[in-house]
């Protein structure tokens, strides 16, 4: 039985035999950091799609700059996160807007068309949660060609990813708080806002400028901890 790393390399090389270019949905989290390193060693070009919550946050940009400097065959395309359509339509910390809801699959298909690349790599794992476990088990029963979406880290656990990052001297992912998986990215979350206030206040200001009402998260936190 192959190890998770051996399985990942086999999946990546299988796709490499079909295409010299690939898309990676890159978040700056641990899974995408490790997966980018694996892919950059095989493909002639890796196009990373970064979906931003608020554009040009320095604590995120430094991961993008690192990747661009380390891998000469990697480029980045930045697009709004699909979840912003839900936020703006519902009016979460903003004025509601009548806009079309989109899902991740819509962004994936749009990026395939934009780049002309057939295969999209995503760093989801069975160990992440029950929904992903079910999804990835179903994926394994189907041929990759049904969607051309690829999940090489499906058999990994968080410990495997962190070990790979350490052994390959890659940047450690951001940990916004003590909760599990608080490195998943920027969102309307108290841990994220408190971490930004302590470490990247200018990034927090950019978020508050875009969504002034989200200041309530910090008001509530400060009141509860005063």
**What does the alpha-carbon distance between residue 43 and residue 73 come to, in Å, rounded to a whole number?**
8
**E strands, 119-204, where?**
120-121, 149-150
Which residue, 50, 91, 49, is CA-closest to 188? 91
Give CA 72 to chain center in angstroms.
21
**Max alpha carbon distance in the chain (Å)?**
59
> Which pLDDT does position 134 carry in this prediction?
80
CATH tag, 4-171: 3.40.50.620
Region 12-22 average pLDDT: 96
Contact 130, 160 (CB under 8 A): no
Residue 1 predicted with pLDDT over 80: no
Residue 138 predicted with pLDDT over 90: no
Q: Which carries the bigger pLDDT value, residue 151 or residue 146?
A: 151
Contact 152, 121 (CB under 8 A): yes
Rounded to the nearest 10°, the torsion over CA 11, 14, 15, 18 is -170
What pTM value is reported for the model? 0.92
Q: Which carries the bigger pLDDT value, residue 118 or residue 127?
A: 118
Which residue, 39, 23, 11, is CA-closest to 113? 23
pLDDT digits (tens, 9 = 90+) for 25-53: 999 999 999 999 999 999 999 999 999 99
Instruction: Work out the end-to-end distance of the chain between its first and last CA atoms, rounded to an integer number of angstroms.
Output: 54
Contact 121, 22 (CB under 8 A): yes
Region 11-23 average pLDDT: 96
pLDDT band for 178, please (50, 70, 90 cuts): low
DSSP string, 36-80: HHHHHTT-SEEEEEEEESSS--HHHHHHHHHHHHH-TTEEEEEEE
- Residue spans of the domains in the chain: they are 4-171
Residue 6 predicted with pLDDT over 80: yes
Q: Which carries the bigger pLDDT value, residue 144 or residue 101?
A: 101
Contact 170, 35 (CB under 8 A): no
DSSP string, 26-44: --SSHHHHHHHHHHHTT-S
Contact 81, 23 (CB under 8 A): no
């Amino acid at each position: 039985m192959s190890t998770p790393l051996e399985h990942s390399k086999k999946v990546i090389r299988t796709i490499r035999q079909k295409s010299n270019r690939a898309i990676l949905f890159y978040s700056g989290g641990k899974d995408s950091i490790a997966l980018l390193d694996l892919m950059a060693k095989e493909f002639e070009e890796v196009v990373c799609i970064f979906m931003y919550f608020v554009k040009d946050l320095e604590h995120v940009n430094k991961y993008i700059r690192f990747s661009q400097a380390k891998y000469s065959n990697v480029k980045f395309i930045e697009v709004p996160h699909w979840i912003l359509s839900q936020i703006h339509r519902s009016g979460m910390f903003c004025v509601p807007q009548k806009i079309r809801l989109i899902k991740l699959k819509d962004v994936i298909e749009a990026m395939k068309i934009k780049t002309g690349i057939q295969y999209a790599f995503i760093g989801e794992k069975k160990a992440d949660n029950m929904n992903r476990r079910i999804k990835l088990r179903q994926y394994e029963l189907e041929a990759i060609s049904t969607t051309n979406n690829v999940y090489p880290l499906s058999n990994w656990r968080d410990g495997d990813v962190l070990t790979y990052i350490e052994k390959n001297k890659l940047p450690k992912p951001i940990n916004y708080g003590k909760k599990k998986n608080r490195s998943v990215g920027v969102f309307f979350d108290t841990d994220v806002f408190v971490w930004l206030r302590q470490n990247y206040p200018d990034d927090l200001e950019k978020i508050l400028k875009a969504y002034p009402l989200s200041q309530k998260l910090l008001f509530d936190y400060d009141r509860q901890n005063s």
